[in-house]
Each structure stands twice: as structure tokens, then as C-alpha cells.
Amino acid sequence: MRELTYAEAIREALSEEMRRDDSVVFLGEDIGVYGGAFGVSRGMLEEFGPVRVRDTPISETAIVGCGVGAAMSGLRPVVEIMFSDFVAVAMDQIVNQAAKARFQFGGQFSVPMVIRTPSGSGTGAAEQHSQSLEAWFVHTPGIKVVTPSTPADAKGMLTTAIRDPNPVLFLEQKLLYRVKGEVPEGEYTIPFGKASVRREGRDVAVITYGRMVQRCLEAADAVAREGIEAEVVDLRSLAPLDRDAIVASAKKCGRVLIVHEACTTGGVGGEIAAIIADSEAFFWLDAPIRRLGGLDSPIPYNRTLEDTVVPRTAGIADALRGLARKGASWPRA
């Protein structure tokens, strides 16, 4: 099978959908002439023209607001926010307009809009360009949240997002853009709410998403040499969540490690832990559920400090060792 980078897979999905459906339009800062801040949309202006690939003013409120209005008027806009941190500027448009319009108007309108945005740390872009804010939107009914970790998933899930009648926040971790992977030829979709087991295991269930999937796989390989078999579950979408996959993996392994790049406090990991605790999987646990998230700190500019704020492969491996050892079990009477 051919290989594409994550960025190429996103561009291919968006281009295919624009060729297939004239109602798909693309809006954002520097997406046209410049080709996007991370080069994702290079060549699209030349193919689709300035009416359908529109460079916008530097106003996230205007970009998302235009997208909401366009979606309610019959188009299928894909809007790009240059860094996910800037969704804070457009929170009213996303949370109070896009997410609620269908409910507010009794189903008379839908908002088939995709908000694509680079997320997370690792590029030395400092505290205002490096955050992982997905939990804000998982907490908001009416918007779907997608976090693909591979080029194949990026293409299939973006196609699904563009065709969805609801607003979708499509989070692209910056360090994944250059990652290569096998991508099927032609058009295909991947449903939301269906996790993927990236590695089978029996001792510890590792539940994760986004960039942390690769680090968790590396950590699982490291501890496998010590006889610890970790199962790595890639959630792929956070709203909706694949509750069945979470519960099944927790029951199978009896020990659970939840890993995400976002700050630990208030992160998606807390919801995942609650799903397990509220299910029959709780009675299968041999140890407390452990979360390994980012530090409750802004992201430093210094590269060395930046690397210490989010979970690293070595730290994930240590957490797996701690959970797997006998002393990590629940106290027995």
C-alpha cells in the first residue's frame, strides 16, 4: 500500500470532497497563496480557485462565524484555525452558535461544518500556541471531537467529518504532520465513536489518543522485553467516545493506564476513568485506575522544559511497570 504523510492525507481527503461536492468550501488564514501554516493546503488554491479556497482576515470570530452562517445556508464549510489555542477567540461562535443551532431551531437547521486546527506541543511555539484544549469541547453537547493519530485515520475521519450534518472539531497534533503511514487508495470513511486496538495485550490496558498513541506503543514495546504485555487502545474520537472498547479493554487486562497530552486536571482522562468506574469493568480491576497526563502548567518555550511537561515514552513505560508489579494491586482482606 502507498504511504502518505499525515498532512498529505488531510489534503487528499479535503480535495477529494471538494471535487465530489461543490458545496464544500475552505476558509482560513493563509490557506490559499501561502498553502497553510503547516503546508497542508498547498496547491488547493490553484485547483479550486479563490471562491472556494478563501484566505480570511486575522479574526477567528469572523472565520468561524462565517462558517456557521455558510453551513446554515446550505454549504459545507471547512474552516481552519491556524493554532488550536485561537479557538478561545471564537468560543462564542463554536459553543453558543455552532453546537446549539440544531437544538435551538428544533432541527430546522443543521451546521455541517468542520473546524480543522493544529493542536498540542512539541514545536517550541510556547504557551499560546501549544495547548491541548479538547476537554473544553468534549464538555459541550452538540459538537463532535476527533483526534486521528495516523495518516489513514486522518483521511478517513476527515471525509466522515465533512459529510457529517453536525459541527466537528478536527484536532491535528502538529508533530504528526510529517509522520508517514499506509493510506488506502480512493475514497473511504471511518466512523466516529469506534476505537482501534493498536496493540493487543493482557496485563495493562493503555487508553490514549492523538500523538500519545505512538509514545504508548513505544513504551509497550519497551516493557514487553520485561514480560509485560500492554494493550494500546487508540480512541480516535473523543465525542462520541467508544465506551464499549474502553470497558472491554479494562475488563480484559484488569489494570488501566490513561495517557493524554493535555493537562491532567479536568482532562478527558477523568471521564474515561469514570466510565470504567461506573461499569462492570470496575469489578474486574486489580489495581486503581491511573491517569498520566500533562502537567498543570502552561507550555514553556524552552524545548527541554517543553518536553518535560507532557508524558514521554520513558515515563509511560515506568507507569506501566508500576501498574504491572504485584504491589500495585488493590488491598485484599
Q: What is the DSSP letter of 171?
A: E
The pLDDT assigned to 325 comes to: 85
Q: What is the pTM of this model?
A: 0.95
One DSSP character per residue, 271-319 reads HHHHHHHTSGGGGG-SS--EEEEE-SSPPPSSHHHHHHHS--HHHHHHH
Q: Are 161 and 129 in contact (CB under 8 A)?
A: no
Give the CA distances from residue 192 to residues 84, 147, 160, 215, 306, in Å, rounded to whole numbers and listed in that order: 21, 10, 8, 23, 31
The pLDDT assigned to 329 comes to: 53
Q: Please state which architecture CATH assigns to domain 196-325.
A: 3-Layer(aba) Sandwich (3.40)
For residue 231 the three cell numbers come to: 494493550
CATH topology of domain 3-182: Rossmann fold (3.40.50)
Output the CA torsion sign for 19, 20, 22, 26. negative
Known catalytic residue at 129 = yes
Cell numbers 466522515 correspond to what residue? 160
Output the CA torsion sign for 94, 178, 267, 161. positive
pLDDT means per 10 residues in the chain (333 residues)? 96 98 97 93 96 96 97 97 96 97 93 97 93 97 98 98 98 96 96 98 98 98 97 98 98 98 97 98 96 96 94 97 72 42
The pLDDT assigned to 326 comes to: 56
The pLDDT assigned to 333 comes to: 36
For residue 27 the three cell numbers come to: 476558509
The pLDDT assigned to 230 comes to: 98
Distance CA(168)–CA(151), nearest Å, equals: 18
**Range(s) for CATH 3.40.50.970 in the chain?**
3-182
For residue 106 the three cell numbers come to: 428544533
Please pick, among 11, 129, 174, 255, the residue that the annotation labels catalytic: 129
**Range(s) for CATH 3.40.50.920 in the chain?**
196-325
Distance CA(302)–CA(325), nearest Å, equals: 35
